[in-house]
A = this chain, B = another copy of it.
Amino acid sequence: MEQFNKSQETHLWYTEYHTPNSGITLKVKETLLRVKSPYQELVILDTYEYGKMMLLDGLVMLTERDEFIYHEMITHMPVNVNPNIKKALIIGGGDCGTLRELSKYPFIENIKMVEIDEEVVKASKKYFPQLTSGLSKNSEIIIGDGIDFVEKTNEIFDLIIIDSTDPIGPAEGLFTDAFYSNCRRILSENGMMVLQAESPYFHADSIKIFSDRLKRIFGFITPYIAFIPTYPSGMWEFIICTKKELDTSLKSKSLIGDFEQMLKYYNHDVHSGAFKLPTFVKKIYGI
């Protein structure tokens, strides 16, 4: 007969509820950091399955094991659609993963990242050095309010990446007409704004409203999808917003030639595949 083992190890589990009725649960080695910044609660957990994991206000932002998918897909998809990018702007993205990916393109002359919460950048430097190393010399990290930045700047950008949390908490102002209108104003004629747009599986209604607004403000939107195991449903949506209709085809095969072998998700096949949407996703966009 099996005996009850009285001297077991103590195990902690972190559960993120993706909806009130479902979630993922991960076994935790230890809590490495828990701080309240002026903007949000920032926690770094060390998990058995996904390695170190960053949470903001109780939601998974990234994990060591699968961060490559989000960061490669929010970056290489737009750049390979329009390789004439000289100036890029990242709003948010304090973990520096998006900046790391953009840094791989030597032809981008200037990259500005505007992150409101310095604690996120500091924590990333300490706990996720793979995200913060190898950044381009042409990059600049500005600790400040992205809403304010896009309102006041007169610089013109060829690529704006909104790498933010969801529309609760400090990122709320990043989901307003005023913010998007300013982004459009500082976008070059062939420029692109890219953002993450949650799960088409769980958030169809909010994606519908959200994407209709983006279309109204920018003119054209082009959605694409990627597998992200630690995000709700594992299916994650990105939207490219443009002033003109977007030709999504790959513009230059040699563009990522030199570092394609460094990437773990994005490749030329994925480039075209990610724009191919399942029927229930097309229906959200009425396409």
Contacts and interface: CB of A to CB of B under 8 A. Distances in A.
Contacts of A264: 278-280
Given A234-B229, A278-B270, A24 B24 contact: yes
Q: Size range of the interface on A? A: 35 or more
A273 interface: yes
The interface residues of chain A, by DSSP majority, are classed as mixed
Q: How many copies does the complex hold?
A: 2
Interface stretch (A44-52, A139-147, A165-173): A44-52
Contacts of A228: 234
Interface stretch (A14-22, A30-38, A180-188): A14-22
Interface string A1-37: 0000000000000010001111111110000000000
Given A23-B25, A270-B277, 19 more contacts: A22-B24, A22-B49, A22-B50, A23-B24, A69-B278, A225-B227, A227-B227, A227-B235, A228-B234, A229-B235, A263-B279, A264-B279, A264-B280, A267-B279, A269-B277, A270-B278, A272-B272, A274-B276, A276-B276
Interface of A: 15, 19-27, 47-50, 66, 69, 201, 225, 227-229, 233-235, 260, 263-267, 269-270, 272-280, 282
